[in-house]
């Protein structure tokens, strides 16, 4: 009898473990956030500039739509890089999200430039009214065509 109880307890423990692992994995997917952008640059370089384009989001946000933004790059002395500060507003089918970004861009003045840094979600409307989040971004820009791509990778609740 004890053998049957021990076997039943072991089977129950194994079943609970099999259910708990997928639930844990699912919850991390629900907070993971990836956003890809295709952007057109306007008046961007050293100083203030703007951008407009499209985005596709996956994970905690499953939406797509348009994006607009503005940014400023302030050079660091003679290093060829600069401090990038900016704001993006994403308008999707379920609401809007506003992000603030901070990072380093360079080489300044070159036709092809990269930027990387951090972003923070600072507001939202509709389905995103209470969203919070943060992460990192990477951008590559081609100033000869005024095109850029950006990828955000982070977490959102």
| HSE, side-chain direction, 13 A CA sphere, residue 52 | 2
In the prediction, which pLDDT does 77 show?
Answer: 77
In the predicted model, what is the mean pLDDT of residues 123-128? 97
pLDDT digits (tens, 9 = 90+) for 27-39: 566 899 999 999 9
Which of these, 104, 97, 96, lies nearest to 120 by C-alpha position? 97
Contact yes or no for 82/110 (Cβ under 8 A): no
In the prediction, which pLDDT does 44 show?
Answer: 60
Contact yes or no for 35/54 (Cβ under 8 A): no
pLDDT digits (tens, 9 = 90+) for 84-100: 999 999 999 999 999 99
- Map out the domains of the chain with their CATH numbers: 33-156 (2.40.480.10)
pTM tops 0.85 = no
Nearest-angstrom CA–CA distance, 69 and 61:
19
Identify the DSSP state of 111: S
Structural tokens at position 111: 């036709």
pLDDT at 82 over 90: yes
Nearest-angstrom CA–CA distance, 43 and 53:
15
Within 8 A by CB and 6+ apart from 137, the residues are 101, 103, 115, 116, 117, 118, 119, 150, 151, 152, 153
pLDDT digits (tens, 9 = 90+) for 44-54: 655 578 899 99
Nearest-angstrom CA–CA distance, 86 and 36:
17
């Amino acid at each position: 009898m004890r053998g049957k109880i021990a076997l039943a307890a072991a089977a129950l423990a194994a079943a609970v473990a099999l259910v708990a692992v997928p639930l844990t994995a699912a919850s991390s997917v629900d907070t993971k956030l990836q956003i890809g952008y295709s952007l057109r640059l306007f008046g961007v370089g050293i100083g203030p500039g703007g951008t407009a384009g499209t985005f596709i989001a996956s994970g905690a946000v499953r939406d797509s739509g348009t994006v607009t933004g503005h940014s400023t790059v302030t050079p660091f002395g003679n290093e060829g890089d600069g401090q990038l500060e900016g704001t993006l507003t994403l308008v999707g089918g379920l609401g809007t999200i506003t992000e603030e970004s901070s990072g380093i861009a360079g080489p300044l003045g070159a036709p092809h430039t990269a930027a990387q840094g951090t972003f923070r979600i600072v507001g939202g409307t509709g389905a995103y009214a209470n969203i919070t989040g943060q992460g990192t971004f990477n951008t590559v820009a081609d100033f000869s065509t005024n095109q850029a791509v950006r990828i955000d990778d982070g977490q959102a609740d």
